[in-house]
Amino acid sequence: MKLVKLMEPVMTTQAIKTSGLTPVKILNKLSCYVKEQVENFNPQQMLKSILVPGIAFIVFLLIWGGAASQVQTSLGTLPGPIQVWQQAMVLVDEHNEERIKQVHFHERQDIRNAKKLAENPDAEIKTRPYTGKATFFDQIWTSLITVATGFLIASLIAIPVGIICGLSPLIYSALNPLIQIFKPVSPLAWLPIVTIIVSAVYVSEDPVFSKSYLTSAITVTLCCLWPTIINTTVGVSNISKDLLNVSQVLRLGWWTKVYKIVIPSSIPMMFAGLRVSLGIGWMVLIAAEMLAQNPGLGKFVWDEFQNGSSNSLARIMVAVFAIGLVGFMLDRIMLVVQKRVSWDKSAVLR
Amino acid sequence: MSNEHLMLSQISIEFPTPTGPFKALDNINLNIAKGEFVSLIGHSGCGKSTVLNIVAGLYQATTGGVILDGREVNEPGPERAVVFQNHSLLPWLSAYQNVELAVKQVFKKKKTKAEMVEWIEHNLSLVHMDHAMHKRPDEISGGMKQRVGIARALAMEPKVMLMDEPFGALDALTRAHMQDSLIEIQARLNNTVIMITHDVDEAVLLSDRIVMMTNGPAATIGEILQVELPRPRNRVQLADNPKYNHYRAEVLKFLYERQHRPEASEAKKKTAQNRVSVMGKSKAA
């Protein structure tokens, strides 16, 4: 836990700050981190932060390995940690192979085009994109983009709605029943409606986004609106009465009040909501992708399930870990963002 | 009468409660001249803060009203700056930024940027906070926070400064310091001030007049004491001054003999107050 906590600023600030996230940079940061750790070596802390979680993880792997070998399924024995690790490596290899193929494809295309131009300078050259099979890592990327879209739309709606609800008891009492009714609705109930609406409304000759992407993203939006709205509302309505009196005495305008008083004081609650929302969004996304066939992790799981080879279960378990790790990473990113925007740097965030 | 600076005329206020309206204040009449320092003193819960909030415009009187320079007060505004009991600084802004927020709002088109900076710094140095003006409220002591609160109010150049137990949350020594600072500021600026206090010494030391309030419900002004001590006043010299001690005794007599309450009525009062606060909360929610 401690290790991850310490590493998180290394990894995530990097991810946010620089779009050009090169492996070299990450390695540099990591080596800095390792150097720091070696210099500040503290055996007791080491024990607590690495050894204890490490032992717990090993115990977990042993129990899993032992129990899995006892379970016989139609696809053979339930895979243990070793098989899952092997499949993870296979997925990495597949990814690398695809990348090599892609490079070759582009090389061939470039050579072909160059030849054509050499024969006839006016020749029409076509550059086609590589249409190879999406690898596991492409699918993780697709999922991340989709969840980011859904979450962003949801936040852009939920934060203003939450602020307005928090400031106006009238609007709150008007919207609260609706929020309470829609909040517990499962993504699987939204999905058919969203699918049909997207198919009907989003008709385009040359679509920028695929329908499955829109359907999944909108379903994510519909499910992760609510925690942010509710938490922001609570945060805003609990602003100290004194501060609101100050704003009244100063006759601050509505916008100034919101910027200077309302938003800063409700940021902790707002982020609590955003983090719950993002967590829900990530869970919902997997389900939505399965059904909408958006080429992300959900589709990967579904395809493997349909595939039913002897490796499928292990590959699904790799996906389970990937989903878990990505979800954890997303939460850490939110935490870093919260630390950035929060005025109270001394507050303990977890 | 029309030449008065601030007039509180026949103010009464009722708060709705589930068991019918609760009359907190009844028939408050008070005229305050420009540059006068008036203290409101009374037992807790007698409605002192309510009076102040009505003058600030945060509450609306049920009957009667407040007239400032010939105009009725209906809403809060910077010409009636408030120094709140618990400082009410925005915790995410530095001392400077807190004052800046007020200055920018009040002098939006009247001062240039440079003038504003100068004005903010001037006010912070008035309260001796120039050395720590870029610190945030959580980095400075309670007394310093209240100094910034006072600087913020002063920076609005208010017609009336309303102070709601400004030093109530401070320890005795800090409070004495703050009172001396206030005397010093008052000597320079001669503001019109209404201050609520629990502290008899504070009231006598600072005020031109002490308004003593009866106990609620339906609290009103019981007695007004004119404090005719020469200024500048010095707490050490006044400690032996018979006139000063006479004033102190007057206030104490009013508070502990004439307004002394038997336990029974205290309990009754408390339930009434609780009802009000419950109502207030449900209204706020």
Which residue of B57, B78, B285 is in closest CB contact with A250? B78
Average pLDDT over residues A86-106: 91
pLDDT at A263 over 50: yes
Test the A interface: residue of B101, B161, B281 with most A CBs within 10 Å:
B101
Tokens found for residue B194? 């209404």
Q: Please tell me if residue A237 touches chain B, with a CB cutoff of 8 Å.
A: yes
Tokens found for residue B60? 């609306």
Query: Sign (positive/negative) of CA torsion B25, B28, B33, B38?
Result: negative
Stretch (H or E) spanning B32: strand B22-32
Looking at chain A, which residues constitute the CATH 1.10.3720.10 domain(s)? 136-341
Residues in B touching A237 (Cβ below 8 Å): 285
pTM exceeding 0.90 = no
Closest chain B residue to A166 measured between Cα atoms? B285
Q: Which residue has the higher pLDDT, B183 or A27?
A: B183
Q: Please tell me if residue B86 touches chain A, with a CB cutoff of 8 Å.
A: yes
Which residue of B76, B84, B284 is in closest CB contact with A251? B76
Q: Please tell me if residue B168 touches chain A, with a CB cutoff of 8 Å.
A: no
pLDDT over 70, % of chain B: 90
pLDDT at B41 over 80: yes
- Reference B59, options B157, B212, B164, B135; nearest CA is B164
Say which residue the tokens 């993880």 belong to: A57
Could you give the CA distance from residue B85 to residue A94 in angstroms, rounded to a whole number? 68
pLDDT for A20: 52
pLDDT grade, residue B282 (50/70/90)?
very low
Output the average pLDDT for chain B. 86
Average pLDDT over residues B57-62: 91
Q: Both ends of chain A: CA-CA distance in Å?
A: 11
Closest chain A residue to B76 measured between Cα atoms? A249
pLDDT at B267 over 60: no
B81 and A344 within 8 Å at the Cβ level: the answer is: no
Q: Give the minimum alpha-carbon distance from B231 to chain A in angstroms, rounded to a whole number.
A: 31
Provide the CATH topology of domain A136-341.
Answer: MetI-like fold (1.10.3720)
pLDDT at A17 over 50: no
Closest chain A residue to B157 measured between Cα atoms? A250
Q: Please tell me if residue B81 touches chain A, with a CB cutoff of 8 Å.
A: yes
Query: Sign (positive/negative) of CA torsion B263, B266, B268, B271?
Result: negative
pLDDT at B187 over 90: no
What is the DSSP annotation of B207-226? -SEEEEEPPSSSB-EEEEEE
Which residue of A245, A264, A346 is in closest CB contact with B88? A245
B101 and A240 within 8 Å at the Cβ level: the answer is: no
Q: Please tell me if residue B60 touches chain A, with a CB cutoff of 8 Å.
A: no
pLDDT for B44: 83
Q: Domains in chain B, start-ordered, CATH in brackets?
A: 6-72+197-284 (3.40.50)
pLDDT at A4 over 50: no
Average pLDDT over residues A116-127: 81
pLDDT for A50: 85
**For chain A, how long is the longest CA-to-CA vector?**
80
pLDDT for A63: 94
Q: What ipTM was reported for this prediction?
A: 0.82
pLDDT over 70, % of chain A: 91
Average pLDDT over residues A219-243: 94
Determine whether A346 is exposed, middle or buried from the number of CB atoms within 10 Å of its CB (0-12, 13-18, 19+). exposed
Residues in B touching A240 (Cβ below 8 Å): 88
Say which residue the tokens 């305050």 belong to: B32
Test the A interface: residue of B52, B87, B92, B93 with most A CBs within 10 Å:
B92
pLDDT grade, residue B85 (50/70/90)?
confident
pLDDT for A348: 66
Neighbours of A299 (CB within 10 A): 22
Q: Give the minimum alpha-carbon distance from A14 to chain B in angstroms, rounded to a whole number.
A: 26
Average pLDDT over residues A331-343: 89
B88 and A242 within 8 Å at the Cβ level: the answer is: yes
